[in-house]
Structure 1
Amino acid sequence: MRKRLKRSSKNIFPLKIDELEHLLMREFTNSPDLGFSKYEHQNKKIAVFFITYQVQPDKVENLLLTPLLESKKDWSNTSILNEIPLNSGKEYQLLEEILSGLIIGKVMIYLEDETAVVSYDFLNKEKRSLEGAETESVVIGPKVAFTESLVTNLNVMRWNIRTPDLAIEEITIGKRAPREVRLLYLKSLANETDVNTMRQRLEDLEVDQVEDINVLMQYIEDSSMSLFPQFHTTELPDRTSYAILKGKIAVLMENSPSALIAPSSFFSFFESTEDLYMRWNSGPPLRLIRFISMFISVVLTPMYVAAVTFHYEIIPTQLLISIGQSRAGVPFPPIFEALFLELMIELLREAGARLPTKVGQTIGIVGGVVVGTAAVQAGITSNILIIFITISALASFTAPSYQMGTTIRLLRFPMIVLAGILGLIGIMFGMCMLIIHLLKMTSLGRPYLSPIYPIHFEDFNKALFRLPQNFQHKRSVSLSLKDSIRFSKKKAQEKKDIDE
């Protein structure tokens, strides 16, 4: 049995064409998708090989094979690269480079007894057209979303940020199934430490494959055990462009319709692109509603459980009478009643998300009405708790980030257990532990609760509310950017008429 050639830094050439064919067929396990053609030109044997479904056959025929075989030149690697006017021409000597090139749609040319192969890029990339966002719906502003094509996504980003200052670095991750990754930032603005940290985390990543940008986020985030996402992922190019222009870093990945934004604070997950496009006095109230909704979603149901179980005195008399009447026939304690209904809400939400769109909407509406009515009539739960559960569920859906909304929904379950065991003390204990955890968290090495901790009053108008545009002359202090001034405050406040 022949010894398998090691994929190392060793040059495998020169080889006979038959030996090269045998080697490639062995590496690809005699795959029928590997096209290996042999030609003879000017008494010199030539091999052209590629993965058939990965390339554009008409372009290979017209731009490569026809000039190569109809010419009367005595070809060499140097003359091929000089005479065939294609920008993607390269030479490869290592077996690992050749195999990787074939997989990503390169056509290889080997002249027998040469010391390298010549490659050209003829990738046949199937991609869908630009469409609207699915998980981040917006009313005002651009609605186009990323696709699975990295080339398309980079094209959109270049169009949105039309400046040579936009740096795009190429990084390849994954050993067995490599994926191309692009690191995007503004050279004159982004913090150099943040850029180096992100670059190092991507380059040091040693895994077989990374399926999606959301999987990549889990590999490189600061605390993989935390329930909270530390990097923001978005499918909106305008949100990504806005983050880059603020001095942040974006990561795009081949075959992923989302971008990763870093560093991200806790408050950035409640921002929506609509906040930017709406008037300054209309957007902040909506952002405040999202913060209030998050608090309601986490504590409303636990407060009901704690009050009904331990603290009757905090409930108004008329409401207490109504609660008593509605719970008269319920055989379970409030904690089990609440956990049962929360579980039913999550089941309905998950079923609606997995079914086809039209069927999923019907299941969500009809299932909620039928299950809620049946549960009350059967005496399993009280109708007042259904109201609290519904409000909590609606409040959790107001978060613009799907990942943060999921985190908020999951937090309700341990809070309900603490409320059912310790009452209000349990809720306070859970909130204190949650705040301590958030204070300890970081995103790309920067505090997660910035600008609240450490406190930066200058950034409050960027995280918690928004002032008119002519007052936002400074960039975020907490990001430690190279250039902290957006524009001249004095010139922005000048009022000029047309005749001046």
Structure 2
Amino acid sequence: MIEDNTNSLFPQIIPTERTDRTIAALTEGKIVIVVDGSPDVLIAPITLAESVVAMEDYYVPWLIANYLRLIRLFGLCVSIVISPLYIAVLTYHYELIPAKLLDSLVASRAAVPFPPIIEVLILEISVEFIKESSLRLPTKIGTTLGIVGGIVIGQAIVEAKLTSSVLIILIGLSTLASYTSAIYKFNNSVRLVKYPIIVLAQFLGLIGIVIGLNFLLAHLLRLTSLGRPYIGFYPFRMNMFKDLWIRLPFSVQKENPDNLRPQVKQRAVFDRRSPGPPSDFDE
């Protein structure tokens, strides 16, 4: 109810139960809303980069943290475009497929009576059914249902020639990649964003994918979180890139990022110099 655009699929305020994420938000100049009786707090304003920033990144060396962030970012991109690319390539752009791979795809789809978009929708909706039922059931039953149901239904669909085995692999990768985000609310956004792009890929091919991604980018550029730019790239400040999509060493992060306009500019940084003479507490 307090988000800038309540019709957007992307969250402009994120809930969390983690103390370290809450304190990190406060030190960067963000607002934290705490309600008595609720285990969650609300953090705002946020940027799109929050989707790949996990608090575990600050407990490992910065090179490992950057690798993990890039994996999450790549996973989100793959989960959005892999299904539309399958539809566009098989419907309009066969020339993009290598000859050997094309033979495998033709053999896999030889007995499938449906066009690629129907294949994709059958599998995507089946995966959504499995995910929702797994979340609503008790933990032990939900885990078993997710594993057994996925294997049994996937194998049955392939044997019934409703979809190709190649698409099973791609949808499986897309489903796994959609959960790489560090914030669960971003996962829900990715689950819905890809469907309009799937429809555009069916009618316009790769051009439709580009149009869909351009509309998505335009929406993100116009979106704000408590009046602050959601995309997080403007106003352009060099210090905000020290902990945005990648994390540089703590020794160079001496100021809070300026993209959210915090009142406190300086940030506490670990000092490697000599701690000085011992105090009474040390003795």
TM-score range, shorter chain: over 0.9
Quote how far apart the aligned CAs of 1:312 are: 0.2
Bigger radius of gyration, 1 or 2?
1
CA distance in 1, matches of 2:19, 2:91: 49
Quote how far apart the aligned CAs of 1:497 are: 8.7
Quote how far apart the aligned CAs of 1:413 are: 1.4
- Aligned with 1:340 (options 113, 122, 131): 122
1:457 maps to: 238
Relative contact order, higher structure (CA 8 A, sep 6+): 2
1:238 maps to: 20
CA distance in 2, matches of 1:396, 1:444: 26
**Is residue 2:263 matched to residue 1:485?**
no
- Aligned with 2:184 (options 397, 402, 415): 402
- Aligned with 1:375 (options 157, 178, 186): 157
**Is residue 2:129 matched to residue 1:326?**
no
| Cα distance change on mapping 1:370 and 1:444 into 2, 3 Å | same
CA distance in 2, matches of 1:233, 1:497: 38
CA distance in 2, matches of 1:499, 1:264: 42
RMSD (Å) for aligned C-alpha atoms: 1.8
Quote how far apart the aligned CAs of 1:471 are: 1.2
**Is residue 2:204 matched to residue 1:422?**
yes
1:107-154 alpha-carbon deviations (Å, 9 max, x no partner):
xxxxxxxxxxxxxxxxxxxxxxxxxxxxxxxxxxxxxxxxxxxxxxxx
Quote how far apart the aligned CAs of 1:366 are: 0.6
- Aligned with 1:264 (options 39, 43, 46): 46
Quote how far apart the aligned CAs of 1:368 are: 0.6
1:391 maps to: 173
**Is residue 2:79 matched to residue 1:297?**
yes
How does 1:157-196 map onto structure 2 within 5 Å?
Answer: none
SS in structure 1 at match of 2:141? helix
1:471 maps to: 252
How does 1:4-83 map onto structure 2 within 5 Å?
Answer: none
SS in structure 2 at match of 1:283? helix
Counterpart residue identity of residue 148, structure 2: V
Normalized per residue, which structure has more helix? 2
Is contact 2:52–2:245 with CA below 8 Å preserved after alignment?
A: no
CA distance in 2, matches of 1:359, 1:481: 46
Is contact 1:439–1:453 with CA below 8 Å preserved after alignment?
A: no
What TM-score, normalized to structure 2? 0.94
SS in structure 2 at match of 1:485? coil
Is contact 2:234–2:259 with CA below 8 Å preserved after alignment?
A: no
CA distance in 2, matches of 1:255, 1:487: 31
1:184-239 alpha-carbon deviations (Å, 9 max, x no partner):
xxxxxxxxxxxxxxxxxxxxxxxxxxxxxxxxxxx000001111101111121221
| Cα distance change on mapping 1:439 and 1:360 into 2, 3 Å | same
CA distance in 2, matches of 1:269, 1:254: 27
SS in structure 1 at match of 2:180? coil
1:436-472 alpha-carbon deviations (Å, 9 max, x no partner):
000000000000011x233222201111111111111
Quote how far apart the aligned CAs of 1:418 are: 1.0
1:384-413 alpha-carbon deviations (Å, 9 max, x no partner):
000000000000011121110011011121
SS in structure 1 at match of 2:32? strand
1:306-359 alpha-carbon deviations (Å, 9 max, x no partner):
000110000111111100000000000000110110000000000100111111
Counterpart residue identity of residue 302, structure 1: P
Is contact 1:375–1:381 with CA below 8 Å preserved after alignment?
A: yes
Quote how far apart the aligned CAs of 1:495 are: 4.5
Counterpart residue identity of residue 267, structure 2: R
What TM-score, normalized to structure 1? 0.54
**Is residue 2:34 matched to residue 1:252?**
yes
- Aligned with 1:440 (options 200, 222, 238): 222
Runs of 4+ residues deviating >6 angstroms: 497-500
Quote how far apart the aligned CAs of 1:432 are: 0.2
**Is residue 2:190 matched to residue 1:413?**
no
**Is residue 2:143 matched to residue 1:357?**
no
SS in structure 2 at match of 1:381? coil
Is contact 2:111–2:161 with CA below 8 Å preserved after alignment?
A: yes
Counterpart residue identity of residue 368, structure 1: G
2:281 maps to: none
SS in structure 2 at match of 1:305? helix
CA distance in 1, matches of 2:264, 2:207: 47
Gaps (5+ residues) in structure 2?
279-283
Counterpart residue identity of residue 482, structure 1: Q
CA distance in 1, matches of 2:47, 2:201: 29
- Aligned with 1:311 (options 84, 88, 93): 93
The alignment of Structure 1 onto Structure 2 pairs a total of residues equal to: 278
Quote how far apart the aligned CAs of 1:243 are: 0.8
Is contact 1:232–1:269 with CA below 8 Å preserved after alignment?
A: no
Quote how far apart the aligned CAs of 1:266 are: 0.8
CA distance in 1, matches of 2:260, 2:164: 49
